Copies of this chain bind each other. A is one copy, B any other.
Amino acid sequence: MDNVRVIEVKENVFASNIRNADELRARMKEQGTLLVNLMSSPGAGKTTLLSQTIDALAGEMKIGVIEADVDSAVDAETVRMHGAKAVQVHTGGMCHLDAGMTDQGLAELGYEGLDLVFIENVGNLICPAEFDTGAAAKAMILSTPEGHDKPLKYPLMFEVSDVVLVSKMDVAPYFDFDMDEFEKNVRLRNKDVRILPLSAKTGEGMDVWLDWLRAQVAAWKA
């Protein structure tokens, strides 16, 4: 019985969240700021990827980051050290960021004049996939130690993502990560999504990711 009640409320929350998200997206479009929602499991390498992305695009575009976590401010401190504007949002035990929380984060951040704002979502392959944050694009990271079967278990995350980054490619051989199997599993859920293998450690694939970002920013401002 309790389950049924939860689901009803959840649907109200979803509907109202989608309205907020659409409204936020329209404001960001007007402002010419691309909002990218970055999602992954804990420890897949979101903060490392962001730090290297900020370094690589320094001088080329102005970047902000909204760090979402249940607790701590370690990630905001890290990306700030790389020169990005950053705020930390605590979700109060929630396993995702919604559009309202994102809006609060953006207000705190001050996004005027920024070309690109990343949301580093809560580390989790389930809830973040369900909630529209108002971002214009969704990127997810799957790290090779997690295994190539993950699209079977977390289908929605792979379904909603606009790009799938496969991180920690440098250690793939230690984990029997099979890229062909992975791609086959991803395709069951998302026929067209770009799959970009990379390693923030060796730099492999970073240029493709940066070009993808540049194209998204240019298209958003057009």
Q: Does A216 touch B at the CB level, under 8 Å?
A: no
Q: Which residues of the other chain, B, contact A12 by a CB distance below 8 angstroms?
A: 2, 5
Q: Which residues of the other chain, B, contact A125 by a CB distance below 8 angstroms?
A: 42, 123-124
Chain B proximity mask over A70-103: 1 for CB below 8 Å, otherwise 0: 1110100000000000000000010100001000
What CA separation (Å) do A187 and B76 show in the bound complex? Answer: 23
- The stretch among A26-34, A106-114, A140-148 that forms the contact with chain B is A140-148
| Identical copies in the complex | 2
Check if A6 sits within 8 Å of B13, measured CB to CB. Answer: yes
Q: Does A203 touch B at the CB level, under 8 Å?
A: no
Q: Which residues of the other chain, B, contact A143 by a CB distance below 8 angstroms?
A: 43, 145
**What's the tally of chain A residues with a CB closer than 8 Å to chain B?**
43
Q: How far is the CB of A174 from chain B (nearest CB, A)?
A: 5
Q: Known A123-B41, A124-B124, A168-B145; judge A70-B13 contact (CB<8 A).
A: no
Q: Which chain B residue shows the least CB distance to A149?
A: B74
Chain B proximity mask over A199-217: 1 for CB below 8 Å, otherwise 0: 0000000000000000000
Q: Does A156 touch B at the CB level, under 8 Å?
A: yes
Query: In the complex, which residues 58-72 of chain A have their Cβ closer than 8 Å to any Cβ of chain B?
Result: 69-72
Q: Which chain B residue shows the least CB distance to A127?
A: B95
Q: Does A153 touch B at the CB level, under 8 Å?
A: yes
Interfacial residues, chain A to chain B (CB-CB below 8 A): 2-3, 5-6, 9-10, 12-13, 16-17, 41-43, 69-72, 74, 93, 95, 100, 122-127, 130, 143, 145-147, 149-150, 152-156, 168, 171, 174-175
